[in-house]
Amino acid sequence: MKGFTYLEAASAKEAVDILEELKGQAKILAGGIDLLYLMKKGVGPKYLVDIKGIKEMSSIMVDGDVLRIGALATLSDIASSSDVRRELSMLSDAASRVASPQIRNVATVGGNLLQNVWCWYLRNGYPCWRNEGRGCPAASGENSTYFSIFGGRFCVAAQPSDLAPVLVACDASAMIVGPKGTRAQHLQSLLSGSAAEDGKGPPPTFASNELLYEIEVPRLKKGTRTAFCKASVRESWDFALASVSVAACFEGGVVTDARIVLGGVSTYPYRAVEAEEAIIGKQLGKETIKSASRLGVVKAKPLQMNSYKVMLTEGLIYKALTSIADDQATGRS
Amino acid sequence: MGARNADSSAKGSRSKLITLKINGQKTTVTVPVRRTLVDLLRDNLRMTGTKRGCDEGTCGSCTVLLGSRPVYSCMLLAVNADGQDITTIEGVFQNQEALALGRAFASTYASQCGYCTPGFIMSAYALLRQNPDPSERDVRFALSGNLCRCTGYSKIVGAVLATAQGLKEGQSR
Ligand SMILES: Cc1cc2nc3c(=O)[nH]c(=O)nc-3n(C[C@H](O)[C@H](O)[C@H](O)COP(=O)(O)OP(=O)(O)OC[C@H]3O[C@@H](n4cnc5c(N)ncnc54)[C@H](O)[C@@H]3O)c2cc1C
Ligand code: FES
Ligand code: FES
């Protein structure tokens, strides 16, 4: 495994001070699942700053109108939290399907959101732009699984986190501590950074001297129904080929507001705006669901080897919306 | 504050003195920070019951308990186990649930080449400790982070269910 120098931070401020001093050479160590995997392939930073001593960063709690999830909460903590189950069952569902029990017991939500992409080339040490090199070999290479069907400026690997699209569907924000204090940023814009910019470098929105402190999720409005669907080759231990997260608000049987977010098919959590518009103001009947599902992938531009994911995604949107419509019809919560 | 010299305050270290409680026994060692727990167990402490298969979090043969939770010891830095309770296959048979699991695995051919067995026992033991009366679904879910290339899993799931049943009957007797 690649060697490194180890530092421990006892507070968020101390972590940020260390990151600031080491000027881009250091990374935060949370659960270490993603970091260790990459370091064993020779990809990794010179310094690791261990933050597991910052105990308050693992808490999960309801605080007024928001659910606060500390960046160090493990995926098992999230899956077993009664607060999360009650407030946001689709997050429990998504968390309990990530990887395997042993990984969920260690992996943190912060690390899950900020993990590197699962591209064969990168994971085997290929020097693409994410690994001190240039170019994206997957764009014209093996891109059948964990890759985008909605394009990508300089990397075509999909955002791999199962939790990211769920949290974006709930309009969650990241609380970020940096040298100048704490700031909030919508998770959607934070995770879109790498996709939107000029193609010259890594995500500009999360600086190397910042710490993800916690995730703030607005509590769902009354009348909101949610669903999470994931398609993967294997039941466990496997990333999403595609996932769909839906939060739809109903009033008198009519959808008044909706967010439909796709995972595993884009370089960032992809809001299927066309599908959202197709259900807002309507009752969720079969025909509406059908056309919304088609519209959800209307902008797809698949790569050479992954056009099958377009149909898969359309089918998953159909499945997620149908489950919401069934819940609505039967009054199930 | 001004620019501080990176070398002065954020030096960090390449090795660390850690104390682990392994199978109830306190162990203090100095480890290079990049050593994983499975390497420490096997190569330094000569506890070779824990197997190193894939070494990248995708097989489960290195499973140990950190506190009461199963984790992959190949995906955990030894320094991150500092101060914690660790149970390995060498120590787990002090508990009756594990002993019963071991017997059931042996007598029902749930262990063939045996390489995956220590990891399965650790995961199954963690399950029975937390849920003494699991359904088949619970068992499959709890074992979903362990791979076996020989048995086809049915015998393993059967052994765990039979163990749970046996322990329950033993108690009510
Ligand atoms: C076999 C396998 C299967 C998997 N399957 C899935 C799956 O199905 N779905 C899924 O979503 N994921 C999956 N994963 C990915 C896994 O969930 C992540 O690797 C894990 O969540 C990372 O969390 P961590 O705490 O271990 O992160 P670490 O490895 O500690 O960190 C990951 C990255 O985030 C940065 N970071 C972490 N925390 C912070 C913070 N608070 N502030 C700033 N930076 C931070 C680190 O510097 C590093 O760059 C799988 C992984 C493996 C190995
Ligand atoms: S050796 Fe650790 S999971 Fe395979
Ligand atoms: S018995 Fe051989 S791998 Fe499981």
User: Which of B34, B69, B144 lies closest to A1 in CB terms?
Assistant: B34
Q: What is the ipTM of this complex?
A: 0.93
pLDDT of residue A195: 44
pLDDT of residue A197: 43
Sheet order of strands, A5-8 included: A5-8, A47-50, A26-29
CATH number of the structural domain A224-330: 3.30.390.50
Question: What secondary structure letter does DSSP report for A36?
Answer: H
Structural domain A56-113+159-218, CATH architecture: 2-Layer Sandwich (3.30)
Q: Does residue B7 surpass a pLDDT of 60?
A: no
Chain B residue with CA closest to A34: the answer is B75
Question: pTM here?
Answer: 0.95
Amino acid at B130: Q
Ligand 1: which of A13, A19, A34 to mutate, judged by most atoms within 8 Å of the beta carbon?
A34
- Topology annotation, domain B15-91: Ubiquitin-like (UB roll) (3.10.20)
Q: Does residue B138 surpass a pLDDT of 90?
A: yes
Cβ–Cβ gap B72/A47 under 8 Å: no
pLDDT of residue A131: 81
Which DSSP string do the residues of A211-223 spell out, in sequence order? EEEEEEEEPPPTT
Cβ–Cβ gap B33/A5 under 8 Å: yes
pLDDT of residue A132: 80
pLDDT of residue A193: 65
Domain boundaries, chain B: 15-91, 95-168
Rounded to an integer, what distance in angstroms lies between the CA atom of residue A58 and that of residue A77? 9
Asked if B60 reaches chain A (Cβ–Cβ under 8 Å), the answer is yes
| Strand, helix or coil for residue B69 | strand
Asked if B130 reaches chain A (Cβ–Cβ under 8 Å), the answer is no
CATH number of the structural domain B95-168: 1.10.150.120
Q: What is the mean pLDDT of chain B?
A: 93
pLDDT of residue B10: 62
pLDDT of residue A287: 98
Contacts of B14 in chain A (CB under 8 A): 3, 5-6
**Helix axes A286-296 and A308-330, enclosed angle (nearest 10):** 150
Beta-bridge mates of residue A175? A184, A214
- For the residues B9-17, what does the mean pLDDT come to? 85
Tokens representing B130 are: 């937390």
SS3 content of chain B, % helix, strand, coil (to 5): 45, 15, 40
Distance A103 CA to ligand 1 centre (A): 9
| Residues A169-206 pLDDT 10s | 999 999 999 999 999 999 998 888 654 444 444 444 67
Helix (H) or strand (E) holding B77: none
pLDDT of residue A236: 85
Spans of chain A, pLDDT less than 70: 193-205, 333
Domain boundaries, chain A: 56-113+159-218, 224-330
Q: Does residue B8 surpass a pLDDT of 50?
A: no
